[in-house]
Structure 1
Amino acid sequence: MSAAAAAAHKDREFLAVIGDENSVTGLLLAGVGHVTAAPDSQKNFLVVDAKTETKDIEDAFVRFTSERKDIGILLINQHVAERIRHRVDTYTAAFPAVLEIPSKEHPYDPEKDSTRRASEPCYLPVMMGNSNQHTSPESDVPQATSAAESPRASQHTNPNPTYVVAANAKCEMP
């Protein structure tokens, strides 16, 4: 990051949260809560329940991503992000980073996460510590082979692969 870019984002020191009561409460207890100085006294969180209007969620998303210059990361429950998916999917700015997180009642679904989908071409799974790795001719990045290609792969497959940045991947946002 250049010095000018770093200076432009140096004041982004807070997290913002849009989520259900359990998620927001847990993060507030962890210390992420902040209220700006008077006269506006804006909170950096929004608790969403079944009665919360979609417009209120959209307004909070816009406030945290466009208006507030002190927010560096916006955490949003994935099931809440689904209610404003059009906003989340079209958001392309680097700051604040928008991260979709699971909630107690709604597990994380990687297929719904637009940030993860957009960055997927940048990463290759690597089965760390396995004998079922080979190197791509285009790069020196180890890549996992399938169980069909390696008879020992099924014995040593790691269900949680480590990801590495692919040297020749096209990592552009849509």
Structure 2
Amino acid sequence: LELHMAGLAGWGINRYGSVLLPDATLKANGSPDPLFGVQAQAGIIAHPNPRIDVYGYFGTQRVGHSYFNENGSSYGYGNPGYSNAGCLQELSTLSCTANTRSVSEITIGGWWRFFKGKFGTVEAGTQLAYSRRQIWSGIGGDPHTSMSQIFFDFRYLPFQ
């Protein structure tokens, strides 16, 4: 049994995650304002026998917000004054700013090594993943989206 954990938190570090969330916005005086971010991942891998691996992972990346309003206009990242009114309707004429708040995924899967010889290993695998994106609330609410995916893989690992 293997356990895997990794994480990173700080200001201006969001570019280092797979989601590529924003690192900074601007303050009212025009200077950069780094955004706080958190990235975390945890997983478990089981080897019930030498030919089978089963795994599960959870990962998330989140970003903070920083904003200001001036002369009736909204600025920054995650401003509740931004309009999300058109986010739930395709081809809407309403705006959809939709600043991302977080993206998370949970996945399970497995590998079956059905051939192992002196010239390599041949494996087949499957994976089920569920991903979810949440945005900062604004005018019109805080819509979110999610997606389920299933993958089938076949791979050859030479000389392993």
Q: TM-score range by the shorter chain?
A: under 0.3
Higher helix share: 1
Higher strand share: 2
